[in-house]
Structure formats: structure tokens, C-alpha cells
Structure 1
Amino acid sequence: MLYGRMAERETVERLVREARSGVSGALIVRGEPGIGKTALLNHAAETAGAGDTGNAANAVAAAGAGVGGRGIKVLRGVGVEPEADLPFAGLHLLLRPALGLLDRLPGPQQDALRGAFGLGPARGERLLVGLSVLSLLAEYAGTGGLLCVIDDAQWLDHASAEALLIAARRLDGEGVGLLFAARTPGLPAPGLPELVLGPLDDRAAAELVAGHPPDLAGRVLAEAAGNPLALLELPRSLGTARPGELPLTARLQEAFGRRLTPCPRPAVPCCCWPRRAPASWDRCSPPPARSVSPSRTPSRPRPPAWSRCVTTG
């Protein structure tokens, strides 16, 4: 369930409506870990699969099977970090339900995709692979439209990302929507529109923690700085935390653990975020003297304090 994000919902819903009407488009959703990119992509997939009926159950089934419910077809892919060095691994995950339509493509395009997926001799023509992806998506869309949802696109292997972006830049009247989600600054995509997700507004954040005791909810709101994952996870750890500690749950460690560095004060059981980390866990070390971090422009206020230093509990 999405909280808030009305403008962002409208943006992805418009992509779905246009695909349904035969107008193609692409969008890159960007943001820090836990900011709600996957939830927004799920909302788009449910909207696409359910059509105008609002039948989310049909949408989930349609998205999982790579077929359309009462709305338009949905193909789902995801970048998988352990496969980031395997050429075309991500593309194969996305296009697998559509491979039965390869015979409808022109011969050179059939050969290009078969070579990419190990079904024939490798051709190594990068532009041709991207154009072949576009043709296959158009065939799969048919007359009803298609939404392709690619999550964790920062982990796509280079060959897959390149082919999908080549296709995305050449979309026209196929009735295909390409929706990517990537952590900032992953998946460079010059020439394509982007939607950057920021923190939840105060009202939506308060709705997320409404079921907790007021004192706990108040601290979570202060520490999470509008990050939805933190709003959901911090109540599980703050209830047993010692004063001054901000422990991480397993999900938060998975999402943000790459940004942890050893704390400069070893006596304190904690880890510290580098300066470029998104929002603000800052319990181990005092903030630097300047009012903004190097990754932010001077016109913006210093972020709240949960991204530089956290205890691992």
C-alpha cells in the first residue's frame, strides 16, 4: 500500500494510460534505498494489470505471470547483483515470457536476440540487439498495450541495460511503457525522463507509524526523516534500544549496509555513514562544522540525522 505520493502515482498511472492508448513512453524512478521505488513500481503494475477495474488481485497475478489481466500486459524484470557481470542476464529475466514471439521478428533481429540468449551464434551487434528488443516488446504488446517494470535497475548487467535503454529512446507508437527503478546514481540514462523520489511528507509519514505509541512514533518520525523503510523498520528496534543508540534491523542493514564505515570512536558500538549517505543516522560523531554536506547544494538545509552513523544493535 502506498502512503502519500499522489503526484508520483499520477505520473506512473499516466504512463500506463498512454500505453493502453497506444502511446509509448519510458520513465526512470530514482531515489535512495528504502524511499519507496519498489512500492511505486508495484502500484504501476497493479494499475496496468487491473485496468480500470481496480482489481489488484488480477494485477498481481498478471504481473507475476507476465501476462495481462483486465488491463494491459505486464512484464517484470529485476537487476540481480550476483548476475551483474553476466551479459544479457537481466534482459533474459524480463523477456522470457515473450521469447515465443521471436519468429515474428525480421531474420537479423531474431538472430541477434538468439545470439544474446545463447540460442544461436553470438552476433555482437549492440544496436541491433536493442532494436530487436524494441521489436519484440511491440509484438508482445499487440493491440492491448504493455508495461515493462524493471526494479533494482542499478544491478542490471551492462549489456542488458544498454539494450533496454536503446529501445527506450526509440519508443513511439507501440503501446509500450518502460518503467525502471534505480538507486541514485545507478543506471545513467541520458535523454530519458526521470522521477526522483524524496522523503514522504509529514502526513503520509505519520500515517505509517499511526499504530505505535505516541512517544515511539514521535522518535521514529524524527529519526526516519521521511524514509518509508526506516519508518516501517525502526519501531522494531527502537523499543529495546539504549539511550543514544539507533539500531538497524536486518532489512535496514541490507539496504544501507554498503554505506557503513567503521566508527572513529571504537568504544561506541556503532557504524558511521559516509557523508554522501541519504538522510540521517548521526549518533556516533558530531556533525561537521559546515551546514550542508558536500553532496548537497548550499541552498538546501542540512539533512536530519539518520544517515551518517548508526548502531548495529
Structure 2
Amino acid sequence: MLLEVRDLHVEFRTRDGVAKAVNGVTYGVDEGETLAVLGESGSGKSVTAQAVMGILDTPPGRITGGEVVFQGRDLLTLKEEERRRIRGAEMAMVFQDALSALNPVLTVGDQLAEMFTVHRGMSRKDARAKAVELMDRVRIPAARERVRQYPHQFSGGMRQRIMIAMAIALEPALIIADEPTTALDVTVQAQVMELLAELQREYRMGLILITHDLGVVADVADRIAVMYAGRIVESAPVHDIYKAPAHPYTRGLLDSIPRLDHKGRELYAIKGLPPNLTRIPPGCPFHPRCPLARDVCTTDDPPLYEVSGTRGSACHFWRECLDG
């Protein structure tokens, strides 16, 4: 296994109390595999990724338990200097807002070239040539001229391509893409996802794709992990999830996708709101919003039941959900 996250816990100390952002998350991704991590905003997807990358803001956030094993090494036991050498070279991240992630006062060429001067010790001239090569690789037209331009001179889709170029620059074994298609139109979304999938196949990278949109991952993911209130509530191969979800929350996410054969109908929405992470309800955290909730759900927190050898569901009544 390329990366294994085992029983990870992350909390934030706030004025209102301790927010338990990640509560025992366990998942893994192998070489050449795509794992999609889904869930509403605030479910813990990005915080888990930041903990894996070692870029969690501390304080107020802190990792209180678990392991992050990457290529046989527990990253949480390494010194910061060792983590810094791994970031970019062996694992990289594509951030959600490319305009905020890129430095506005440096050209995109300088930002790409820095990867090679810092991690590979290249000369500025050679690093600039590699930057042009990368921009060509992610299909930015007129790369030789545009390498001197600044982030604000690129469209949203082109800025995201620059972020992808930075992520693959040193051919890492793992890329984490945190909602890489947010705020892009549908056509550009498809182009960005196609580019990521193509690069992954070429370099045999593991890919963790963080999103709240089930429609985005249908054609690219191998496995899906659904998060709610800081924990995994369902994990399964992608086709199993779409065919028959085994958790009411997953079913709700699927039902909320607009469908052509439902023209004129009111769009489905999961009732209620995600829980306050400083006051997660007892029992199953989804029970206040769940159509299948019964008395046991208000008192007993369900484990991740084994539905089959390749999937699990944190629902006491996963069989009923699976049967529709």
C-alpha cells in the first residue's frame, strides 16, 4: 500500500470548545489508484489531507492520534525537515483555490522553476526550461511566452493547470487534489479531470481526489470514501456506491445530483445541517438527519460494518439501505 491513514484524530481548540474535526479516519491508496474522498463542507476531508501532508495549522489544530504511513514510513514520527523533503518530491497537493495558492508577485515560471532549484539543485536556466516543458505538458498554449506571466493573467482553468504542473514537477508517488474543479465551469472541470487522470496513468501515481460532487468522480475514481462529521461512513469500489449505496448519507448525496429523467421535479436535499463539531450528537452523528434513524441510532455509535470484502458502512441498518 502506497499510503495508509490509520485511526487518525485531529482536533481544533476554539473559543466554543474543542472541535473534533477528524475522528478515527482510516483509508488507503495504492500506486496507480484513485481514491475519491466525498462529503459536505466541514466533514473533515481537507483537514485529513492537511494532516497527511504535514501542513496543518498548529495551533489551533493538532493531531491527537493515529498513523500516516507513506511508503512504509509513519510521517507523524518524522522531524519537520524530513517532512519538508518529502513534500513536493514524493507527495504533492493541488489546492482548491489556485489564485490564493499561487504567489501573485512571482511569475508562474519562477514558481515552477523553484521546485527544481530547491529539490534538484538545477541552475535557473535549466529550471526555467523545465518550467516551460511542464506548462506544455499540462497543455498551456504558448508556454514559452506565458512562462513570464503572473497568476492573475491566467484564467481559472489555466491557473489550475499550473497547480497541477507544480504537483507533478518532481514526479511524486502521490498527489492529493483538494476540490481541483471548484468554481470552474462544467467544460473546464471535465478538461481538468481528464488531465489529472491522464497524468496519473502516465506516472503511475496514487491520487486522492477530495470533492463534494459525486458527479465529478464517477469516471475517474477506483474507490470512494464518504466522510461525515470527521469519520468515514462508507467505503466501497466506485461502481458499488453508484449501484447501491449502503449508508443513508451516501444515498442522500446521490439523490441530490440533478438527473435528466427528473426534469421538472424539485431537487432533493438532505434535511437539516451537519453537526457542530464541538457538540457532535451521541450515537450515530447522522441520526438527526437520517430517514432510517431509530432509537439505537441515538445511543450507539455504529462501527464500520463489513458489507463485503471490499466495502464497509457505518450504519446499523446498512442492509435496509442497500436494499433501497
- Name the TM tier (shorter chain): 0.3 to 0.5
TM-score by length of 2: 0.41
**Structure with the greater alpha carbon radius of gyration:** 1
Higher RCO structure, 1 or 2 (CA under 8 Å, sep 6+): 2
Bigger share in strand: 2
Q: Which structure: greater helix fraction?
A: 1
TM-score, normalization: structure 1? 0.42
